[in-house]
């Protein structure tokens, strides 16, 4: 296996490349700024992360410093590399001239310095450079760049300096005589399995604009398209190139064929559906919209003019790319079924900019996004379902108390990071999604549901009792909600105007908490950020409307016993009451309000343990 030096190893793309290289058995040296961040990422990826571990080895430095600011021992280590992967650089289209030059062109010069030194001393097997797909330089024209350089002067600094870096590395590789592979990815989206896309600077801008109803007129329309690639597909391709024993200098475009990709109108229509806003009503030429965004109107709207640079009309040559994909049997097509998950995830990140799920891994169970953590014994799986005005993240303080078991926190359809189910029957759509999630586990689960999640958990128990080991209902909503929620239109509008102080007043008025002191500040922040999303607002309003209908509360308790079903009920809840026929099940009363799993997570966890959860 090769010794590979990689820059950008802690970025959105880099961490997936790093994981793939380690999986392939390479000796990997990664340039990182922060030891703590590197160790955190390696822990998340289940890779060795100590400085004395064989794989991977971090070297502390900065792409913008001369010789990366490496110590002498680290510099000597880097100079023994067989392959260099240069994937470093920020995803920030708003960089000014000086920042962009420092990030891209100066970094390219440093990469060339190391590449040339290695090639002179031992021979560099391969340099792999990741560059934006709009770079005008090709294997044929970079030898005569003057006409192109004149055109580049009109581009924003971010794009221009990336393209200058492409040209500089091509010229340096030719002069030094080592093989160079230039990889041109389009907009990189999340994993083909989960859609998790924490980097919001690309397609996230389009998602945000669509959510704000600013895409009713589509840039370019049906004649233009937005090339996409999954980050795990890209990582697999880079890792495959690193295996090439006798690489030739080539350029690779990582994308689908235009004919197999939705055009802009189709893409925005899909986004509108997932974000639950009105769809496009027309289109306009890209040049006209670009001019508008470059005006004071564009600055007022907050849409960068540069964001249009990713939208294209023409096609790209994929011959070289398909050869490598066929040779190594690599996937390349965008997974259409995961695009709704990508849209929902980006919508979540656009509104929860500081959201952190440390200790949990993003997953996907059936049609639902999940936060998952492996336990110390792994004998039991505890599945948590949240209520309205909540999400998987709000259940973390409770789940944190169960370190021995495997835990999985689900976002219900249309909440958090999960796409909506688009069923006519709202509650039934939620239940079916939960059942799919439950059945994705290879053993029966312990199901814990709060409020709405309790109702849905009870309905799932009726459908798949063999898949549920035991059921714990925390303040379950087992009778109709107040009639004031009957109109989803009015509720949705009200949620859109809700302030932090107004939210707190409502939470107290609805007996969700007993006092202001009980309301966690992080919970208020989460709900207020969540309600900025039209997807979450509409789903919340429609779900509350569905909960006002008595027909949604038909639940059979024939199979319930005091051993397999437990109800925890907060007696300070003055809005909801536990129907009498549910009191014959295992009932434990607590002196708390409706949201006690959020206000008192430790006390709730202690009681759940006493009732049998391990």
| Same domain for 89 and 137 | yes
Which of 343, 372, 382, 395 has the alpha carbon at shortest distance from 526?
395
Query: Quick one: tokens of 179?
Result: 């093989």
Give the pLDDT score at 54.
53
Give the pLDDT score at 350.
96
**Exposed e or buried b for every residue in 137-152, given b needs 16+ CB within 10 A?**
beeeebeebeebeeeb
Separation CA 487–CA 510 (nearest Å): 18
3-state secondary structure of 58: strand
Q: At what angle do helices 106-121 and 157-176 cross, to 10 degrees?
A: 10
Backbone angles phi, psi at 446, to 5 degrees: -95, 120
**504 lies in some domain:** no
Give the pLDDT score at 601.
98
Which residues of the chain fall below pLDDT 50?
Answer: 50-53
Give the pLDDT score at 52.
47
Q: In this structure, are residues 396 and 403 in contact, taking their beta carbons and an 8 Å threshold?
A: no
Separation CA 18–CA 42 (nearest Å): 9
Residues 343-363: pLDDT tens digits? 999 999 999 988 888 889 999
Give the pLDDT score at 324.
97
Give the pLDDT score at 53.
46
Query: Quick one: tokens of 447?
Result: 């199901």
Q: In this structure, are residues 84 and 31 in contact, taking their beta carbons and an 8 Å threshold?
A: no
| Same domain for 65 and 113 | yes
| Same domain for 124 and 253 | yes
Query: Quick one: tokens of 308?
Result: 């249009």
| Same domain for 426 and 323 | no
| Same domain for 156 and 253 | yes
Q: In this structure, are residues 370 and 417 in contact, taking their beta carbons and an 8 Å threshold?
A: no
Q: How many CB atoms lie within 10 A of CB 611?
A: 13
- Tell me which DSSP letter residue 66 carries: G
| Same domain for 139 and 251 | yes
| Same domain for 55 and 95 | yes
Q: How far is the first Cα of the chain from the last one, in angstroms, to the nearest whole number? A: 44
| Same domain for 237 and 145 | yes
**518 lies in some domain:** no
Give the pLDDT score at 495.
97
User: 79: domain range?
Assistant: 3-194+227-257+315-334
User: What is the domain-level CATH number for residue 575?
Assistant: 3.40.50.1820
Maximum distance among all alpha carbons in the chain?
84
């Amino acid at each position: 296996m090769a010794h590979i030096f990689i820059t950008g190893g802690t970025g959105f793309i880099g961490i997936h490349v790093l994981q793939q290289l380690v999986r392939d058995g390479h000796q990997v040296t990664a340039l990182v700024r922060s030891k703590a961040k590197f160790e955190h990422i390696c822990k998340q990826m289940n890779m060795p992360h100590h400085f004395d571990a064989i794989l991977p080895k971090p070297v502390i430095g900065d792409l913008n410093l001369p010789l990366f600011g490496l110590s002498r021992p680290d510099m000597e280590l880097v100079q023994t590399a067989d392959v260099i992967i240069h994937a470093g650089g920020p995803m920030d289209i708003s960089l000014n001239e000086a920042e962009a030059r420092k990030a891209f062109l100066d970094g390219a010069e440093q990469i060339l310095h190391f590449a040339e030194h290695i090639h002179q001393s031992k021979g560099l097997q391969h340099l792999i450079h990741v560059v934006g797909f709009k770079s005008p330089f090709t294997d044929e024209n970079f030898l005569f760049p003057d006409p192109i350089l004149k055109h580049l002067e009109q581009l924003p600094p971010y794009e221009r300096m990336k393209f200058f870096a492409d040209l500089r590395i091509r010229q340096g590789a030719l002069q030094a005589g080592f093989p160079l592979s230039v990889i041109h990815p389009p907009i990189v989206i999340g994993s083909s399995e989960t859609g998790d896309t924490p980097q919001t600077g690309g397609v996230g801008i389009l998602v945000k604009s669509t959510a704000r109803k600013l895409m009713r007129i589509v840039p370019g329309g049906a004649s233009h398209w937005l090339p996409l690639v999954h980050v795990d597909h890209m990582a697999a391709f880079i890792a495959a190139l690193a295996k090439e024993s006798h690489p030739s200098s080539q350029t690779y475009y990582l994308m689908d064929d235009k004919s197999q990709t939705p055009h802009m109108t189709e893409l925005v229509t899909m986004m509108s559906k997932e974000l639950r806003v009105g769809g496009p009503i027309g289109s306009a030429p890209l040049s006209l919209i670009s001019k508008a965004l470059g005006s004071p109107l564009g600055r007022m709207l907050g849409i960068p003019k540069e964001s249009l640079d990713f939208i294209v009309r023409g096609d790209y040559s994929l011959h070289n790319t398909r050869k490598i994909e066929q040779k190594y049997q690599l996937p390349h097509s965008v997974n259409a079924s995961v695009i709704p998950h990508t849209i929902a995830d980006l919508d979540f990140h656009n509104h929860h900019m500081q959201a952190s799920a440390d200790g949990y891994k993003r997953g996907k169970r059936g049609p639902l996004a999940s936060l998952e953590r492996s336990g110390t014994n792994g004998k039991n799986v505890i599945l948590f379902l949240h209520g309205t005005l909540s999400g998987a993240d709000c259940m973390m303080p409770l789940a944190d108390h169960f370190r021995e078991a495997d835990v999985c926190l689900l976002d219900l359809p249309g909440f958090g990071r999960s796409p909506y189910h688009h069923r006519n029957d709202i509650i039934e759509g939620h239940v079916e999604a939960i059942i799919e999630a439950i059945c994705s586990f290879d053993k029966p689960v312990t199901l814990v549901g709060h409020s709405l999640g309790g109702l849905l958990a009870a309905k799932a128990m009726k459908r798949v009792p063999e898949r549920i080991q035991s059921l714990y209902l925390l303040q379950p909503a087992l009778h109709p909600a107040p009639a004031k929620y009957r109109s989803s239109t009015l509720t949705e509008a009200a949620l859109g105007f809700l302030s932090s102080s107004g939210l707190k007043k409502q939470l107290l008025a609805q007996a969700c908490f007993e006092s202001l002191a009980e309301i966690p500040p992080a919970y208020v922040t989460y709900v207020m950020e969540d309600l900025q999303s039209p997807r979450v607002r509409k789903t919340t309003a429609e779900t509350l409307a569905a909960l006002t209908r008595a027909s949604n509360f038909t639940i059979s308790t024939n199979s319930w016993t005091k051993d397999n079903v437990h109800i925890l009920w907060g007696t300070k809840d003055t809005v909801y009451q536990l129907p009498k026929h549910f009191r014959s099940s295992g009932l434990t009363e607590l002196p708390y309000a409706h949201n006690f799993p959020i206000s008192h997570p430790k006390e709730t966890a202690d009681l759940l343990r006493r009732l049998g959860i391990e």
